[in-house]
């Protein structure tokens, strides 16, 4: 088990990542994950009304709360292709099912990459045929779903429930078009917990709201975004139900895995040089806190100031002001790291050198205390560099 990582950390799962020739620049581009049994399964999908065909098929196949395999290709979104896209997604599921010995309806499909170009099914088939799924294959699977990502993203955690070890592991991809309610990200999480389907679905939604829906790179969301959670039940613990002590332990561990993956996504934003944490405190309502954190996280002015190591706190307060939240501007205190740069909504002399040292770190926190209530929220984002423009200006070419 020592070499098992990510989606193969939990008992009952194998995976593979292969180079099928789908990506224009080569490399691993097709991931397969299989559970040894038909697993309980849940999913969360983009709220964008434009949805990729592979995503739509996953939604359909998850209606019964079960799945046995996942197949994801990178380099092609299989999106905005009308009936052909639907047929290609179904064919991909059929090919994977034949290879893995399961039913096509128990295969969840995913695609990420360029929109509007037909999926090269011949290459998908070649990749499926060459795949060998193993317990050590989680790392290759995580690499195979990358697009503009620079590093694979995996996390895992174990927790004792009723004295029995329960394992949770996952992988994710995403670097641009990242914003709450899903983004250009795909994540697959697996567990060997014996858990009711209702508890599994609720836990995933709760964990996603605290993780994947609390990150932003550029304020955009895409058409292929999903989080999938599969449970093999191989831990053989007493079934976890909502409202039990076991559920609370499982939810904490699941949330921990998802938060770590989400932070990896934010820190690996296209062209990013640092991870930014927007920590909003003392807001009147949870909605106000979230509106403020979200506005700052997607503000180009705030993000470019971070890239330039500029302690320009006025941009943070300005973004809060147009967020739609209600607050008293003359109560706000702002900190960059431990350096207070604004008090009661106004500037004050602060140590510029200390602020500069803080801003040069790989992780930087902006704390805004509105001194107006008890609500709080956190979002993770990254800075905007010149490389973000270069990457997205040349994405298709």
Domains of the chain: 6-267 (3.60.70.12), 275-393 (3.10.20.340)
What average pLDDT score do residues 38-54 get? 92
* Whole-number percent of the chain with pLDDT over 70: 92
What average pLDDT score do residues 122-142 get? 97
Between 349 and 25, name the one with better pLDDT.
349
Contacts of 393 (CB under 8 A, 6+ apart): none
* pLDDT for 219 beyond 60: no
Stated pTM of the model: 0.88
Query: Where residue 252 falls among pLDDT bands split at 50, 70, 90?
Result: very high
* pLDDT value of residue 183: 47
Tell me the torsion sign for CA atoms 365, 370, 374, 379: negative
Instruction: Encode 175-197: b = buried (16+ Cβ within 10 Å), e = exposed.
Output: bbbbbbebbbbbbbbbbbbbbbe
Query: Where residue 159 falls among pLDDT bands split at 50, 70, 90?
Result: very high
Contacts of 10 (CB under 8 A, 6+ apart): 156, 167, 168, 169, 190, 191, 192, 232, 234
* pLDDT value of residue 127: 97
What average pLDDT score do residues 131-146 get? 97
Q: Which of 45-49, 55-59, 306-310, 345-349 has the lowest mean pLDDT?
A: 45-49
* pLDDT value of residue 220: 52
What average pLDDT score do residues 36-51 get? 92
* Whole-number percent of the chain with pLDDT over 90: 80
* pLDDT value of residue 150: 85
Give the chain's mean pLDDT.
92
Q: d(Cα 378, Cα 292) in Å, to the nearest integer?
A: 10
∠ CA 328-339-273, rounded to 5°: 100
* pLDDT for 70 beyond 90: yes
* pLDDT for 163 beyond 80: yes
Query: Where residue 178 falls among pLDDT bands split at 50, 70, 90?
Result: very low
What average pLDDT score do residues 82-102 get? 98
Instruction: Encode 17-40: b = buried (16+ Cβ within 10 Å), e = exposed.
Output: bbbbbbbeeeebbbbbbbbeebbb
What average pLDDT score do residues 340-346 get? 97
Residue 157 backbone phi and psi in degrees, to 5: -160, 150
* pLDDT for 381 beyond 70: yes
Length of the chain: 397
Q: Which of 38-52, 137-151, 176-190, 358-372 has the lowest mean pLDDT?
A: 176-190
Query: Where residue 395 falls among pLDDT bands split at 50, 70, 90?
Result: low
* pLDDT value of residue 181: 56
What average pLDDT score do residues 85-97 get? 98
* pLDDT for 64 beyond 50: yes
* pLDDT value of residue 197: 98
Residues with catalytic roles: 184
* pLDDT for 1 beyond 60: no
* pLDDT for 176 beyond 70: no
Q: d(Cα 17, Cα 127) in Å, to the nearest integer?
A: 9
């Amino acid at each position: 088990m020592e070499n098992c990582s990510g989606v193969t950390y939990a008992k009952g799962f194998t995976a593979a990542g292969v180079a099928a020739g789908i990506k224009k620049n080569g490399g691993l581009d097709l991931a397969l994950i299989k559970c040894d049994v038909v697993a309980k399964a849940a999913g969360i999908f983009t709220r964008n009304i434009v949805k990729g065909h592979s995503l739509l098929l996953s939604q359909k196949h998850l209606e019964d709360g079960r799945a046995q395999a996942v197949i994801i290709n990178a380099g092609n979104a299989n999106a905005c292709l009308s009936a052909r896209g639907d047929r290609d997604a179904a064919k991909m599921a059929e090919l994977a099912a034949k290879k893995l010995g399961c039913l096509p309806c128990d295969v969840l499909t995913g695609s990420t990459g360029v929109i509007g170009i037909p999926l090269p099914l011949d290459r998908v088939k070649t990749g499926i045929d060459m795949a060998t799924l193993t317990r050590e294959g989680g790392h290759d699977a995580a690499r195979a779903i990358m697009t503009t990502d620079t590093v694979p993203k995996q996390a895992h955690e174990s927790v004792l429930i009723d004295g029995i070890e329960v394992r949770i592991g996952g992988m994710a991809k995403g670097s641009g078009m990242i914003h709450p309610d899903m983004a250009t990200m795909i994540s697959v999480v697996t567990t060997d917990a014996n858990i009711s389907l209702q508890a599994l679905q609720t836990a995933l939604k709760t964990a996603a709201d605290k993780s994947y829906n609390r990150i932003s790179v550029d304020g955009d969301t895409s058409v292929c975004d999903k989080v999938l959670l599969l449970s093999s039940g191989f831990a053989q613990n007493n079934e976890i139900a909502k409202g039990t002590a076991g559920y609370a332990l499982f939810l904490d561990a699941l949330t921990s895995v998802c938060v770590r993956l989400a932070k990896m996504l934010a820190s690996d934003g296209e062209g990013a040089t640092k991870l930014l944490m927007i920590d909003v405190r003392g807001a009147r309502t949870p909605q106000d806190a979230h509106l403020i954190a979200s506005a700052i996280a997607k503000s180009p002015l705030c993000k470019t100031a971070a890239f330039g190591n500029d302690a320009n706190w006025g941009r943070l307060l300005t973004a809060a002001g147009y967020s739609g939240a209600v607050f008293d501007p003359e109560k706000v205190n702002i900190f960059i790291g431990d350096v207070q740069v604004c008090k009661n909504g106004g500037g004050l002399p602060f140590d510029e050198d200390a602020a500069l040292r803080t801003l040069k770190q790989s992780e930087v926190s902006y704390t805004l205390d509105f001194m107006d209530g008890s609500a709080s929220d956190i979002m993770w984002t990254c800075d905007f560099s010149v490389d973000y423009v270069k990457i997205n200006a040349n994405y298709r070419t």
